[in-house]
């Protein structure tokens, strides 16, 4: 049984690695988009995102200790402690004593950091585009949290992730309305809203990935 879990963990790690590499390769002609998103980063944005991240973490820990019956996620069957399929299987490599395997997680995290704008934009287009009213934003935020159950997170984690989703939805709405107030048509305003929420989403994930990257490098 233990060997089966190791085999599945390796397969999941290879799958996520392929997804990241494939995204970078297929979007290489559009690599300028990465810089376009990074250029939107500001100190104020960082402060906002970091504050939301703290709230998400606090709510997450609160849910963890108050809702023990919701700690299960399907990835827990294969990776100790569970987590996100995009991260947890790869991070398992940092626990091995073999040096060659230990350097793989930080390499993967670096490429994931590069690919984040593309992943964030895909999620923002799916969950934010066209939802400018508060009711729609709330519903999409909950869906955003729940959809992450498919990638293996514990059930309780959809609650704090819904908070993050609401934050991104708010930023989308604000950018959309600001663009509309300038006389821009609805389509272009929605595109601007998506780009704005994508920038916040990317920075949010980048902070988490950078933290993991630092931890991995320290462990090598």
pLDDT of residue 36: 96
Distances (CA, A) of 150 to 65, 70, 74, 109, 143: 22, 15, 8, 21, 12
d(CA 66, CA 60): 10
pLDDT of residue 96: 60
pLDDT < 50 regions, the chain: none
pLDDT of residue 3: 60
pLDDT of residue 100: 57
pLDDT of residue 104: 79
d(CA 176, CA 16): 33
Q: Where are the domains of the chain?
A: 2-26+42-219
pTM for this model (two decimals): 0.92
pLDDT of residue 196: 98
56 CB-near residues (< 8 Å, 6+ apart): 160, 161, 163, 164
Distances (CA, A) of 155 to 76, 84, 135: 11, 12, 23
128, with CB counted inside 10 A (0-12, 13-18, 19+), is buried
């Amino acid at each position: 049984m233990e060997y089966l879990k190791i085999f599945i963990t390796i397969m999941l790690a290879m799958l996520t690695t392929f997804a990241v590499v494939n995204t970078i390769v297929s979007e290489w002609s559009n690599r300028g988009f990465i810089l376009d998103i990074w250029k939107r980063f500001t100190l104020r944005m960082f402060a906002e995102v970091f504050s939301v991240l703290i709230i998400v973490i606090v709510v997450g820990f609160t849910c963890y200790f108050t809702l023990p019956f919701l700690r299960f996620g399907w990835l827990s069957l294969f990776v100790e402690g569970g987590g996100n399929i995009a991260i947890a299987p790869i991070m398992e490599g940092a626990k091995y004593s073999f040096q060659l395997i230990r350097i793989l997680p930080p390499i993967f995290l670096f490429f994931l950091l590069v690919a984040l704008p593309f992943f964030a934009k895909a999620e923002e287009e799916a969950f934010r585009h066209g939802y400018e009213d508060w009711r729609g934003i709330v519903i999409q935020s909950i869906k955003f949290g729940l959809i992450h159950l498919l990638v293996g997170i514990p059930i309780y984690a959809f609650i704090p992730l819904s908070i993050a989703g609401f934050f991104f939805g708010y930023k989308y709405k604000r950018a959309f309305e600001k663009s509309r107030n300038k006389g821009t048509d609805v389509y272009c305003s929605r595109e601007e809203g998506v780009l704005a929420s994508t920038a916040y989403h990317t920075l949010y994930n980048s902070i988490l990935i950078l933290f993991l990257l630092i931890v991995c490098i320290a462990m090598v």
